[in-house]
């Protein structure tokens, strides 16, 4: 009896200890999870209160002027999404996403509940589930957030592809044509053309300047970027002119499906009056976009042009079909006077 009771007692103590360990483990786990949630909440609050801006003023200014900051408030976007009945699952998740390190690089992003007006914010690209900031190797620590060195930022094409290369959303895909081109060879990435390298203090509390990248993401609204996108060459032989168009863009051109590029050819009389005008529109709608590095030759009949006339060829970029003539951008121009 005694022995049995003693034995039971030992079992009882053992079970009690096990329970305690379980309890401590569970408590620890909840505490850890609460800490993570607290850090994530603090990051959102800090973003809202201007903390990221005060320690990273240069990066903030660049981002603020980029289309990533406007991905939600952009009127062109809102006008288009308005007509989509299930926009919350079809559209909004990329224009105001949750941090992609939480939903998974390459996975379809999820719609964010808060701060939608901040579009593709700093947190979308940098915040992980532990509340830390991921990026390339940092030169300093800060009390405000933990720094995590993560190799995906060095050549960030996979990061960009989370929104710019979803297989189910071909209208917003710049990544697949890039990957199939020689632009993807070596150390090139989407950042090569859209996030120029800059050496600077990466925060107001850093001690040394290190190499980083500008957060400008200049695209189709930048005249400089558009002038780099393609080249034109004219070759005149009596009766016709060959217009050689060469794309220098790292992906399909134009990159967006709302955009169009007009190749315009005009014969001008010596006094400048237009004698004849022809044009070709290059767009997703016409299914004739240019691949990276593609050279295409268009031949025009010049029988109507006379000696002394000027043949003028232009490439003109149009953001949307509503863009007025005054706001279209001249990408390239070449002229030839008929001898």
Task: Please select the residue that binds ligand HEC; options are 101, 229, 243, 268, rule is CB under 6 A.
Answer: 229
Residues 201-220 binding ligand HEC (CB under 6 A) are: 202-203, 205-206, 210, 212-213, 215, 217, 219-220
One of 40, 101, 118, 125 touching ligand HEC (CB under 6 A): 125
- 231 Cβ neighbours under 8 A, 6+ residues apart: 245, 246, 248, 332
Q: What is the DSSP letter of 329?
A: E
Work out which of 118, 254, 267, 316 binds ligand HEC, going by CB under 6 A: 254
Q: Please state the φ and ψ torsions of residue 318, each to the nearest 5 degrees.
A: -125, 120
- Total residues at the site for ligand HEC (CB under 6 A)? 94
Measured from the CB atom, the residue of 280 and 284 that comes closer to ligand HEC is 284
Residue 263 touches ligand HEC, criterion: CB under 6 A: no
Q: How far apart are CA 297 and CA 27, in angstroms?
A: 70
Could you say whether residue 99 binds ligand HEC (CB under 6 A)? no
Strand positions, DSSP E, the chain: 133-135, 147-149, 197-200, 210-213, 230-237, 240-247, 260-268, 274-283, 295-301, 310-318, 329-337
DSSP one-letter string for 183-234: GGSTT--HHHHHS-EEEE-SSTT-SS-EEEE------TT-HHHHHHHEEEEE
Give the residue with the Cβ less far from ligand HEC, 102 or 210. Answer: 210
C-beta closer to ligand HEC: residue 213 or 246:
213
| Shortest distance, position 27 Cβ to ligand HEC, whole Å | 29
Lookup: tokens for 14 = 């053992």
Nearer to ligand HEC, 268 or 292 (CB): 292
Q: Which of 56, 112, 312, 314 binds ligand HEC (CB under 6 A)?
A: 56
Between residues 253 and 266, which has the closer beta carbon with respect to ligand HEC? 253
Say if strands 147-149 and 274-283 run parallel, antiparallel, or are unpaired.
Answer: unpaired
Cis peptide before 254, with omega less than 30 degrees from 0?
A: yes
**Residue 290 makes contact with ligand HEC by CB under 6 A:** no
Shortest Cβ 338–ligand HEC spacing (Å): 32
Alpha-carbon distance of 193 to 157, in angstroms, equals 12
Q: Which residues pair with 135 in a beta bridge?
A: 149
Q: Is 213 left (phi over 0), alpha (psi -120 to 50) or beta?
A: beta
Indicate whether 131 belongs to the interface with ligand HEC (CB under 6 A).
Answer: no
Does residue 74 interact with ligand HEC by CB under 6 A? yes
Only one of the segments 11-19, 165-173, 273-281, 304-312 lies at the binding site for ligand HEC (rule: CB under 6 A); that segment is: 165-173
Asked if 149 interacts with ligand HEC (CB under 6 A), we say: yes
Among the listed residues 84, 129, 223, 337, the single contact to ligand HEC using CB under 6 A = 84
By CB under 6 A, what part of segment 25-44 binds ligand HEC?
Answer: 43
In the complex, what is the shortest distance from the CB of residue 25 to ligand HEC, in angstroms, rounded to a whole number? 31
Report if residue 289 touches ligand HEC, rule: CB under 6 A.
Answer: no
Instruction: Confirm or reject binding of residue 133 to ligand HEC (CB under 6 A).
Output: yes
Dihedrals phi, psi of 302, to nearest 5 degrees: -115, 20
Any residues with CB less than 8 A from the CB of 339 and at least 6 apart, and which?
A: 307
Phi and psi at residue 283, in whole multiples of 5°?
-160, 170
Q: Does 70 bind ligand HEC (CB under 6 A)?
A: yes
Which of 82, 127, 121, 320 is closest to 221 using CA atoms? 320
Interface segment toward ligand HEC; rule CB under 6 A; list 5-13, 23-31, 164-172, 264-272: 164-172
């Amino acid at each position: 009896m005694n022995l049995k009771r003693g034995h039971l007692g030992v079992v009882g103590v053992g079970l009690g200890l096990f329970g305690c360990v379980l309890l401590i483990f569970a408590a620890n786990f909840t505490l850890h999870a609460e800490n993570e949630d607290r850090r994530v909440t603090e990051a959102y609050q800090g973003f809202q209160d201007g903390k990221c801006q005060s320690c990273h003023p240069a990066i903030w200014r660049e981002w603020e002027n980029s289309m990533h900051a406007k991905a939600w408030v952009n009127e062109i976007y809102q006008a288009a999404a308005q007509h989509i009945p299930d926009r919350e699952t079809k559209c909004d998740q990329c224009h105001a996403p949750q941090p992609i390190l939480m939903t998974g690089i390459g996975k379809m992003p999820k719609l964010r509940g808060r701060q939608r007006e901040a579009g593709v914010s700093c947190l979308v690209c940098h915040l992980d589930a532990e509340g830390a900031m991921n990026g390339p190797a940092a030169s300093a620590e800060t009390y405000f957030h933990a720094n995590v060195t993560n190799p995906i930022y060095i050549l960030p094409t996979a990061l960009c592809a989370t929104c710019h290369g979803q297989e189910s959303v071909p209208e917003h895909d710049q990544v697949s044509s890039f990957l199939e081109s020689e632009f993807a060879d070596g150390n090139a990435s989407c950042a090569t053309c859209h996030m120029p390298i800059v050496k600077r203090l990466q925060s107001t509390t850093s001690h040394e300047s290190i190499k980083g990248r500008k957060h400008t993401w200049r695209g189709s609204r930048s005249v400089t970027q558009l002038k780099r996108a393609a080249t034109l060459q004219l070759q005149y032989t009596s009766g016709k002119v060959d217009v050689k168009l060469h794309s220098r863009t790292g992906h399909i051109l134009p990159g967006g499906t709302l955009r169009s590029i007009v190749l315009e050819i005009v014969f001008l009389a010596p006094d400048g009056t237009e004698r004849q005008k022809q044009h070709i529109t290059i767009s997703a709608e016409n299914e004739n976009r240019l691949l990276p590095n593609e050279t295409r030759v268009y031949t025009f009949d010049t029988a109507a042009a006379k000696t002394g006339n000027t043949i003028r060829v232009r490439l003109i970029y149009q953001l949307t079909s509503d863009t007025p003539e005054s706001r279209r951008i001249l990408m390239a121009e070449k002229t030839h006077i008929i001898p």
